[in-house]
Chains A and B, each alone.
Chain A
């Protein structure tokens, strides 16, 4: 398998995981908020927006009445978002820029 293709697939895999995680968190949040009869999150698409804004640490305060379960879920989403969303995506993209330089440095060292 070609390397470039491999990295593309890897990127897709991370986005895929994020997507699935987003979906399940949104469903969970909807469940918590529905139990609380909240007016802020009335459907799963609303919950999607909330979870997305949390995961990418935007955090507009337009949705703020969150149940206790919802709060704990948002904490988890925030931390996972930091780790998978930012770290893995940045790691995969960053490696593309740094690869050539690092390789050249290693080769220069081993040749001498």
Chain B
């Protein structure tokens, strides 16, 4: 019964499918995607070589990826399912902007590198990551609450500094969104130093906000870290119950 569906699916197509989905071709394609990412980055640095070196390289990559996409459609057991699957759409997005030749959309070439996520189709990656994702999903609510709390704090800090600084530095603290930039940069401890308070009141306020806020903003990180540790302990206990002896 099952064979009815696949009865045309034999011979050349099947062989090609196995080759394309096999580890060798997949590995080569991943390398090519990486190489094309490197070329894309370097192109913006060495603009003088754009036409002599980078454009031909780009066309070559495009040709390879187009051929690969067509082959994947040709060999897929269920063509419709492949075209509308996540990776099918990503593959199409990767070649579409260049194929339709809209000059302004050249930057959309960046979509090509979404294909690098294909690497996660490898089963060992899936096995390694899925418990981690499960653990992260467990703390969704706590995380959301913390994010709301942090946003509120950022908002209050921005409003506060706006009151103190708007008269002295109207160009930098002229509006609350501008002040929010200062708040985020300070509270994540980045501190670019392009915007800083100058009035005594603003300085004292900054000190207070930094003391409370840096800890507050770090709580989500701590939560994630602890949940990952918990997940690992649980896994280890489970493994020992199953009598698996590994990791000494």
Contacts and interface: CB of A to CB of B under 8 A. Distances in A.
Contacts, number: 132
27 contacts: A6-B127, A6-B128, A9-B125, A13-B125, A13-B132, A23-B37, A23-B41, A24-B113, A27-B110, A44-B44, A45-B41, A45-B44, A57-B188, A57-B189, A57-B190, A59-B185, A59-B190, A71-B181, A75-B181, A79-B188, A82-B221, A87-B220, A87-B228, A90-B221, A94-B228, A102-B229, A103-B236
Tier of interface size on chain B: 35 or more
A88 interface: yes
Question: Across chains A and B, which 10 residue pairs bring their CB atoms closest together, nearest first?
Answer: A91-B228, A87-B224, A59-B190, A91-B225, A9-B128, A61-B193, A87-B221, A43-B44, A64-B194, A95-B229
Given A44-B41, A45-B45, A75-B181, 12 more contacts: A10-B128, A13-B125, A26-B41, A43-B44, A59-B193, A79-B188, A82-B221, A83-B221, A88-B225, A94-B225, A99-B229, A103-B237
Contacts of B37: 23
Interface of B: 37, 40-42, 44-45, 47, 107, 110, 113, 116-117, 119-120, 124-125, 127-129, 132, 181, 184-185, 188-194, 217-218, 220-229, 231-233, 235-237, 239, 246-247
